[in-house]
Amino acid sequence: MSNIRVTALYKFVRFDDPEALREPLFERLSALGIKGTILLASEGVNGTIAGAPEAMDKALVTLCALPGCASLEWKDSHAEAMPFLRLKVRLKTEIVTMGVPGTDPTCLVGTYVKPENWNTLISDPDTVVIDTRNDYEVALGTFQGAIDPETETFREFPKWFENFRTELAKQGRTPKIAMFCTGGIRCEKSTSYVKSLGIDDVFHLQGGILKYLETVPKEESLWEGECFVFDDRVSVGHGLEVGDYQLCHACRHPVSAADRQHPHFEDGVSCPRCYGTFTDAKMAALRERQKQVRLAKARGETHIGDDVVMTPRKKVTA
């Protein structure tokens, strides 16, 4: 097993002064050699970090010691190499941005469903299953029969759901609503929002897709494809094994093995999705960057330009 432990974590909790937590948290995690990103906001904490197993144990003790975070939610997986280049602790307005003021999962949230009970719920014909992730994530994999809202950002989800709810009403339907996401955080917020609209039968997958892939045997699984993750692994499959996708540096969208065989794929420069959308000057800059990445690798170093935000650009621009 790899000696790098990767932990996705979050907790919705009220922080009176998140700014006061930032520097001490950064100093403690940095001293442990932890890398990754932690987001702090008045509504709680969210992030993915990585490090040696014993250092991660101490890091989680530190995080659980934050006010109200004794029951911090986290999911562990492993990587062959450190998936982050540095540690970032950032202050945000929301730890997961939906943009609906007043949405508070600490006060109102859907019913948690354990991974081992998820198949029964989503196999019920009276259940509508909704993938709350964004389009580029859904493209890699999802649960059988799940609805894809085709959103580019989580901010688009409330408007999509209002339209979806109107369509259900026109059809005279009042199904159970089952939602899922990567690690559970978006589901907590989306089910809180949906319940605030007066809908009672709302459920979400506890621990998210990652916990399901870790817990449910492949032969019993209703998951199809791979799961996008926001680090250098790009995707994982059953048992949280590292998947087959890589990231296009130009547009930051995941590219499959088939994409990498396409004539429009050039490592670090373009993929079938973004080919032809950049100026000659931009293409030259991307090729020069990729050259420096190769030279750094030959020297046994990591090129700092590899530290990209693991979220695809909303629009491909020059």
pLDDT by residue (tens digit) across 157-192? Answer: 999 999 999 999 999 999 999 999 999 999 999 999
Q: What is the pLDDT of residues 204-239, one digit of tens each?
A: 999 999 999 999 999 999 999 999 998 878 999 999
Phi, psi of 76 (to 5 degrees): -100, 145
Residue 308 in this model has a pLDDT that exceeds 60: no
- CA dihedral over 257, 258, 260, 261, signed as positive or negative: positive
Asked whether 232 and 79 are in contact (CB, 8 A), the reply is: yes
Q: Which amino acid is at 50?
A: A
pLDDT of residue 85: 87
Residue 72 in this model has a pLDDT that exceeds 50: yes
**Taking all residues of the chain, what is their mean pLDDT, rounded to a whole number?**
91
Residues annotated catalytic, as ranges:
181
Least confident piece of the model among 26-35, 92-101, 293-302? 293-302
pLDDT of residue 293: 80
The ranges of the chain annotated as CATH 3.40.250.10 are 111-227
pLDDT of residue 313: 53
3-state SS string for the chain: CCCEEEEEEEEECCCCCHHHHHHHHHHHHHHCCCEEEEEEECCEEEEEEEECHHHHHHHHHHHHCCCCCCCCEEEEEEECCCCCCCEEEEECCCCCCCCCCCCCCCCCCCEEECHHHHHHHHHCCCEEEEECCCHHHHCCEEECCCECCCCCCHHHHHHHHHHHHHHHHHCCCCCEEEEECCCCHHHHHHHHHHHHCCCCCEEEECCHHHHHHHHCCHHHCCEEECEECCCCCCEECHHHCECCCEECCCCCCEECHHHHCCCCCECCCECCCCCCCCCHHHHHHHHHHHHHHHHHHHCCCCCHHHCCCCCCCCCCCC
Residue 312 in this model has a pLDDT that exceeds 90: no
pLDDT of residue 318: 39
Q: Mean of the pLDDT values across residues 135-153? A: 96
pLDDT of residue 103: 93
pLDDT of residue 295: 83
pLDDT of residue 316: 44
Least confident piece of the model among 134-138, 198-202, 280-284, 304-308? 304-308
Q: What is the CATH number of domain 4-91?
A: 3.30.70.100
Q: Mean of the pLDDT values across residues 130-146? A: 96
pLDDT of residue 203: 98
pLDDT of residue 210: 93
The sheet carrying 127-131 orders its strands as: 111-113, 202-205, 176-180, 127-131
The ranges of the chain annotated as CATH 3.30.70.100 are 4-91
Residue 317 in this model has a pLDDT that exceeds 50: no
Give the integer Cα–Cα distance in Å for 170 and 308. 44
Q: Mean of the pLDDT values across residues 5-20? A: 95
Range 111-227 has CATH code 3.40.250.10: yes
pLDDT of residue 296: 77
